């Protein structure tokens, strides 16, 4: 069937003369993305198709791509016995995902524990949303990303802008879509993590369904959503919630912040980032839920925020400042003096070339073991920072696209004089120069320092 279908389009695939592989490699597959399957199918067809390609035709090879993706998807669903993560997304706008009969094959989706959905309003996609509650009930980590018009405003033409806005509006006004998402959430036996990105006000239409998982949910993340219509007071009943994140959410007012008071959960991790709310909102959230927080990502340093952290986060040891400004130095120093911080990350969200690190090592608490500078820092600033450092710093990570050999020389002197540094990460670039590579090798050889590979940098 495969050969005859492709032959009609003058596509001839080579048939291997070698015996079948000794190992069933599909059984080792753990993560599967439909987008990657589409891309692979398209590449295969471009390689072996005898026709001339016309990239201006959006529907070119539509049926062939969809057929190949369906065949490959069936293969992996049947043979990938270790498959536990499935991402339902698409690479091309003119194609559709496989039909629901493929997803409904016996015992195929029952082993999926992590499901990621990148929303696309295609016929098969909408049908899949309807059947997922009955064929996939073991999800522990559920992520859904809606199309966003806002993120596309600066790099596309007006017509495509309008199309993006229309897609978002269509989803928001479609009650069936919201009901199906609610049913997916309700049908899970042990949903522990839920992440939602985009969607504007659509989240408010299925938020109440999370109440069905109030005994199970441990992680909640809201990213670029409109909180109007979302009753955050409902979160107070979530008994096992450990991690809560709000990223760039709209309509995050003081009333929403106050609704988080008197929770039953004991948070361990709180992440706050939004340029659309006042510092008072951040401080109020910390005041209500910070008593058990150990890891805190804070979006703004203000007198109110520092006071809230100092008085309502008694056990916090890991702090990340998400958008540090040099003028906030007195507030940062006060925070470092108030809390016994073991891990500190300083970030700068705005893309700037100049160094922003203006504190010294004397400002660090003695307990500090981990320091990550995810921001601009000159070699001189880094030297001033490390020179007065009295703590036994074990992990140092510098992520800045202008990091060079001068920075590494400063780090080498610090490693030589303190003997405490065990792990070093130097990122912000795609590869090292020859001099930088030699300096890093010397640090590893002479001082036994583990150098974080660039490929693993985001995990530290």
Measured CA angle at 272 (ends 268, 197), to 5 deg: 100
Q: What is the rounded radius of gyration, in angstroms, for the C-alpha atoms of the chain?
A: 26
pLDDT at 191: 97
Q: Where are the domains of the chain?
A: 1-12+27-109
**CA-to-CA separations, 213 to 163, 183, 188, 216, 407, in angstroms, rounded:** 35, 12, 8, 5, 49
pLDDT at 434: 94
Within 8 A by CB and 6+ apart from 166, the residues are: none
Answer whether 267's CB lies under 8 Å from 287's CB.
no
pLDDT tens by residue, 162-179: 565 566 666 767 889 989
Q: At residue 321, what are phi and psi to the nearest 5 degrees?
A: -90, 115
Among 330, 337, 233, 315, smallest CA distance to 266 is for 315
Global confidence as pTM: 0.86
Please tell me the distance from the alpha carbon of residue 252 to that of residue 273, in angstroms, as a whole number: 11
Structure tokens belonging to residue 10: 């003058």
Please tell me the distance from the alpha carbon of residue 85 to that of residue 74, in angstroms, as a whole number: 15
Q: At residue 364, what are phi and psi to the nearest 5 degrees?
A: -75, 145
Structure tokens belonging to residue 185: 């959430």
How far is C-alpha 311 from the geometric centre of its chain's CA atoms? 30
Please tell me the distance from the alpha carbon of residue 344 to that of residue 180, in angstroms, as a whole number: 42
pLDDT at 35: 95
pLDDT at 22: 61
Please tell me the distance from the alpha carbon of residue 175 to that of residue 209, in angstroms, as a whole number: 14
pLDDT at 276: 65
pLDDT tens by residue, 100-148: 999 998 888 889 999 999 998 899 999 999 999 999 999 999 999 988 6
Residues in the chain predicted with pLDDT less than 50, given as ranges, are 57-58, 151-157
Long-range contacts of 264-268 (CB under 8 A, 24+ apart): 264/236, 264/237, 264/238, 264/239, 265/235, 265/236, 265/238, 265/239, 265/240, 265/241, 266/242, 266/292, 267/241, 267/242, 267/243, 267/292, 267/293, 268/242, 268/243, 268/292, 268/293, 268/294, 268/295
């Amino acid at each position: 069937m495969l050969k005859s279908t492709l032959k009609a389009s003058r596509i001839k695939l080579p048939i291997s003369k070698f015996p079948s592989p000794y190992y069933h490699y599909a059984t080792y597959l753990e993560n599967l993305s439909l987008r990657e399957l589409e891309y692979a199918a398209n590449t295969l067809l471009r390689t072996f198709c005898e026709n001339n390609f016309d990239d201006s035709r959006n529907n070119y090879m539509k049926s062939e791509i969809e057929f190949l993706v369906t065949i490959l998807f069936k293969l992996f669903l049947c043979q990938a016995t270790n498959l536990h993560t499935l991402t339902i997304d698409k690479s091309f706008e003119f194609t559709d995902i496989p039909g629901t009969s493929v997803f409904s094959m016996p015992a195929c989706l029952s082993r999926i524990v992590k499901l990621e959905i990148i929303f696309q309003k295609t016929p098969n996609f909408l049908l899949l949303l309807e059947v997922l509650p009955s064929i996939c009930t073991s999800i522990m980590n559920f992520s859904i990303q809606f199309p966003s018009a806002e993120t596309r405003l600066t790099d596309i033409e007006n017509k495509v802008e309008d199309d993006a806005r229309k897609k978002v509006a269509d989803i928001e006004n479609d009650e069936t879509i919201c009901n199906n998402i609610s049913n997916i959430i309700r049908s899970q036996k042990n949903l522990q993590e839920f992440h939602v990105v985009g969607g504007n006000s659509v989240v408010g239409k299925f938020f109440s369904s999370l109440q069905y998982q109030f005994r199970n949910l441990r992680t909640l993340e809201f990213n670029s959503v409109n909180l109007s219509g979302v009753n955050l007071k409902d979160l107070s009943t979530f008994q096992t919630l450990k991690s809560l994140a709000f990223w760039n959410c709209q309509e995050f007012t003081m009333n929403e912040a106050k609704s988080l008071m008197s929770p039953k959960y004991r948070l361990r991790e709180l992440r706050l980032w939004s340029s659309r709310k006042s510092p008072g909102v951040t401080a109020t959230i910390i005041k209500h839920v910070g008593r058990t927080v150990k890891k805190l990502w804070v979006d703004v340093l203000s007198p109110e925020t520092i006071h809230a952290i100092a008085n309502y986060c008694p056990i916090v040891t890991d702090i990340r400042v998400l958008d540090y400004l040099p003028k906030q130095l007195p507030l940062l120093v006060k925070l470092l003096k108030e809390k016994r911080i073991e891990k500190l990350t300083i970030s700068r969200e705005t893309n700037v070339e100049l160094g922003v690190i203006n504190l010294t090592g004397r400002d660090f608490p003695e307990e500090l073991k981990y320091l990550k500078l995810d921001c601009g820092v000159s070699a001189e600033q880094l030297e001033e920072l490390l020179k007065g450092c009295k703590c036994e710093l074990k992990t140092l990570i510098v992520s800045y696209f202008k990091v060079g050999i001068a920075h590494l020389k400063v780090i080498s002197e610090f490693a030589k004089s303190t003997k405490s540094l065990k792990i070093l990460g130097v990122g912000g670039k795609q590869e090292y120069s020859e001099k930088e590579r030699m300096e890093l090798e010397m640090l590893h050889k002479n001082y036994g320092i583990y150098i974080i590979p660039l490929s693993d940098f985001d995990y530290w």
